[in-house]
Structures are given as structure tokens and as C-alpha cells.
Amino acid sequence: MNDLISDYKNLLADLIKRYQKQTDYLAIRIEISEGTNIVLRGDKIDTISEGISLGGQIRTCYKGGWGFATFNKLSHLKNLIEQAITSAKIIGDDETILAPVQAIETVCKLPITGLDPRQIPLLEKKQLCDRYNEILRSYSQKITTTSVRYGDSNQHILIATSDGSLIEQSWTDLEMRFSATSRDGEIVQTGRETTGSRKGYQDLTNLDKQVEGAAKRALESLFLPSVKGKTYPVVIDPILTGLFVHEAFGHLSEADMAYENPDILEVMTMGKKFGPPELQIFDGAAPEGHRGSYYYDDEGTPATTTQLIKDGVLVGRLHSRETAGKLGENPTGNARCLNYHYAPIVRMTNTWIERGQTPVEDLFSGIKEGVYACNWLGGMTNGEMFTFGAGEAWMIRHGRLAEQVRDVTLSGNVFKTLANIEGIGDDFYWDESGGCGKGGQNGLPVGCGGPSLRIKDVVIGGV
């Protein structure tokens, strides 16, 4: 592998030197990936595969126009570079504006602190899935459908640019997803759990209680009363906080969303107040050990930590080199692609709300009637609006948890919701289960985190 990468480095350096004067910007990215994918549905094997792939992409910009090409054979590289440059020249009619970054030559590997999944036999991974599937299927006869998904991947990336960067970077990522669906007559309920890691295979081997929890929620929800739909004060747990900050706010912080939509750019004006003075929101790949962590993004920009909201005020956004250049701001290292088939676009990495100072039990104080929502069951966003389903929920009555309820969805406007935050808990949890989707690139690993939050006037859907 190392000899192969060394040969590729020499090849890319020669090609960059040969073609860089024909365009404003040229980048070539080669990717070697290995991975396993297992999907069980009920008592059937839906998918079981191991694979190795080699491919790459070419990106070039001329007078603001972009050319893009992908390849699986290195013998096609010269022709594809010329085609990408031709495409960029056909489109380009303005000015190439890319925020400058320092040229870097480096080799870096995100450390894996545990078992490398490439050293684990496929049969052993299949047996792990079987064990978890049996926990789901045997929990109750009312569990009618189960699903277990296992995935691991190792990506080895080489990026060369006409700015003089030559970056070799590699990492390993793992993820498992579990779901159980129960039925009682016409009532159908689902329990889900997802977990991921960039530390090692062993992080996926002791999840029995988590898997059982998915089946338990699916079964018990059959017999719970539905929540009465109306506006409530709500306390959400750290997992829902992580989902909220990623889905509802994080995407609006991606600068291509703002640059391409003047209305969003107007709303996301720097210095605008969005929340209480104690609200701090960050995104960054620089914190180590999370699923959205890396050293350099897919344009060769160093990873950073970007504060998006400081003391309740908007102070930052997430950039590629192009969006940073066009908006006159600094690049943040947030240009990412799922794999070589896709061009890098502005994506979140690890997004979190900072821990607060309010004891969690005090978040419930004074609530005459409200809802405590935990975990997540699904959700969607549309611009400023969001709707999330809670995995579990309880009524809050006179400051205390009361009866458990089901079918709890939280809806609202993200900016109004941020402004309605009344308390930020002193707890914190990193959720490594995220697989983000944008622009057709679905399942990009990310991390989400935060404390428990108390929010007033949240619309809760129900009966």
C-alpha cells in the first residue's frame, strides 16, 4: 500500500505541474477504500459484502466555472483532466475566487485506539449481527419486524492541488443501526438505536442493553397513551439537543446555503441575536475522536473549530474555500465529500451546544404541564422549519415526571426555538450515531453533542 501511494504521489505531482497553467485551480484526489456491509431483516440476510475500491476525482476551476470528473483507471487521468478543464472553460465567465490556504505536504492518520475492523473475519461480524438480531426478535411475539445493519470502512485519501498541497490522510469508521417494529391490532410502533465509532471494533461488541432498549421501546409504546397535541414547555435530553443543533441550525450555518439563497443570507447576518446569553454553538473537525473529526478537509484546508453562536449572537459560519472567498471570510475546513464519486461541498463535522450551568433537575422546576422528550425516532427540516420525532417521552406535571406518552413530535421555527431556550443543563453527551445527508451525499459521518435544554412554547403533535 505505501509503495502504491508513493507512486501515486509522483504521478499526481507530475500531472499538476503539467496542467496547472491551463486553469486557475486544479485538484486531484485518489481514494483507496476497504469496507464491510451487512444487513439483516428479520430472519433473512439482505446484504453481506466486503469490498476494496480504487478511484478518484478531478476538480478544476476557470473564471469561476467548475469542471469535475471521476475515474477508476489511472490510465484515463490525462484525458479526464483535459475534459474537466474544457468543461470549466465552457462554463466560466466571471472570476475564480478561492480563499487562500497555506500549501501543505504531510502524511497523517487518524489513530484507531482499538481493534481494526479489517482484522476481524467477516464471519465474526456476521455472528455479531446475528446476536443482536436475536435479541430483537426474541423480545416479544409482538415484535413483527427487525433490522440490523453493520458497516465499517477504511479510507486512504491522497489530495494534490495546484496550490502546492500534497496531503495523504486515512481513517477508519464504524456504524451499527438497529430497529424493531411492534404491532397490536392497528397500532404500530418502532424503536431504533444507532451507534458509531472511529476508535475501534470493540465499541460495537457490547451493545446488548442498547439493542434490547430498542425492542423494549417498540413493545411498551403499544400500550402508552398518545400525547395531547398542543403547545408545551419542553425539556429535551442531550441526544435530541444534538439532533436539533445539527439538523435545525447546523445546515443553515453552511455557507453555500446562505450564498445561494439571499433570504437565508439576510436571516443569517453576523451579529444577529438568536438565543440567550449563555448559548454557545460550535462546529469543528479539530476535536479528536469523533466521527466528524479529521486533520484536513477534502480541499486540503486544515481542520478548525468554528464558533457559530457566541453569547447568543451569530458570529460564524462554515465554509469551503469558494464560499469563504466569495463572502470575504476565512475558510473553516468544512468542504467534504462522501467519496470520490462526489465533489466536496460545505458540510458539518462535529456540531455541539456547549454545556450550561443549570442542574438538570432544575430544568423541570416550575413547569405545571409540559413534555420531557428523549432520544430520536426520525425527523425532517425545511429551511427554518423542523419536525422531530422523540424516541421516548413523558409528561411533566408540577415540576416532576409523570406518565409516559407516545407519538411525540416536536415542530417549530429554529430561530424562534433558539430564542425560547430558557435553561441549558450542566450535562453533556456526544452522539456518534449521525449519518448526514445533503446534495445526494447521504450517510456522511458526523458527531453531534449538547446538554439537556428547557424550551418554552414548543408545538407538540399528537391526538
Asked if 455 contacts 371 with a C-beta cutoff of 8 angstroms, the reply is: no
pTM: predicted TM-score of the whole model, two decimal places: 0.95
Cell 438538570, residue located: 360
Is there a single domain that holds both residue 204 and residue 312?
Answer: no
Are 162 and 274 in the same domain? no
Identify whether the C-beta of residue 330 lies closer than 8 Å to the C-beta of residue 319.
yes
Q: Tens of pLDDT along the chain (463 residues)?
A: 556 677 899 999 999 999 999 999 999 999 999 999 999 999 999 999 999 999 999 999 999 999 999 999 888 899 999 999 999 999 999 999 999 999 999 999 999 999 999 999 999 999 999 999 999 999 999 999 999 999 999 999 999 999 999 999 999 999 999 999 999 999 999 999 999 999 999 999 999 999 999 999 999 999 999 999 999 999 999 999 999 999 999 999 999 988 888 888 888 999 999 999 999 999 999 999 999 999 999 999 999 999 999 999 999 999 999 999 999 999 999 999 999 999 999 999 999 999 999 999 999 999 999 999 999 887 888 888 999 999 999 999 999 999 999 999 999 999 999 999 999 999 999 999 878 999 999 999 999 999 999 999 999 987 6
Of 159, 172, 174, 158, the C-alpha closest to 112 is 172
Residues 270 and 214 in one domain: no
Domain boundary among 223, 257, 292: 223
Count CB neighbours of 99 within 10 A: 20
Domain closes at, from 223, 251, 283: 223
Q: What is the CATH number of the domain that holds 157?
A: 3.30.2290.10
Residue 247, domain extent: 230-461
Residue that is last in its domain, among 178, 195, 223: 223
Which regions of 230-377 does DSSP assign to beta strands (E)? 230-236, 281-284, 305-310, 313-314, 335-336, 345-346, 350-353, 369-374
CA 133 vs CA 128, 170, 178, 180: distances in Å: 9, 31, 8, 9
Total domains in the chain come to 2
Asked whether residue 137 falls in the same domain as residue 234, the answer is no
Q: Are residues 207 and 246 in the same domain?
A: no
CA distance 25 to 301: 14
Task: Specify whether 188 is located in the same domain as 284.
Answer: no
Residue 42 — left, alpha, or beta (φ > 0 → left; ψ -120 to 50 → alpha)?
left
Helix, strand, coil % (nearest 5) of the chain? 25, 45, 30
Cell matching residue 360? 438538570
123 and 200 share one domain = yes
CB-CB contact of 53 with 33 (8 Å): yes
**Shared-domain flag, residues 237 and 180:** no
**Are 314 and 449 members of one domain?**
yes
In this structure, the answer to whether residues 364 and 386 fall within a common structural domain is yes
CA gap 9, 19 in Å, rounded: 16
437 class by beta-carbon count within 10 Å (0-12 exposed, 13-18 middle, 19+ buried): exposed
Check whether residue 112 and residue 176 sit in a common domain: yes
- Domain check: are 241 and 216 in the same one? no
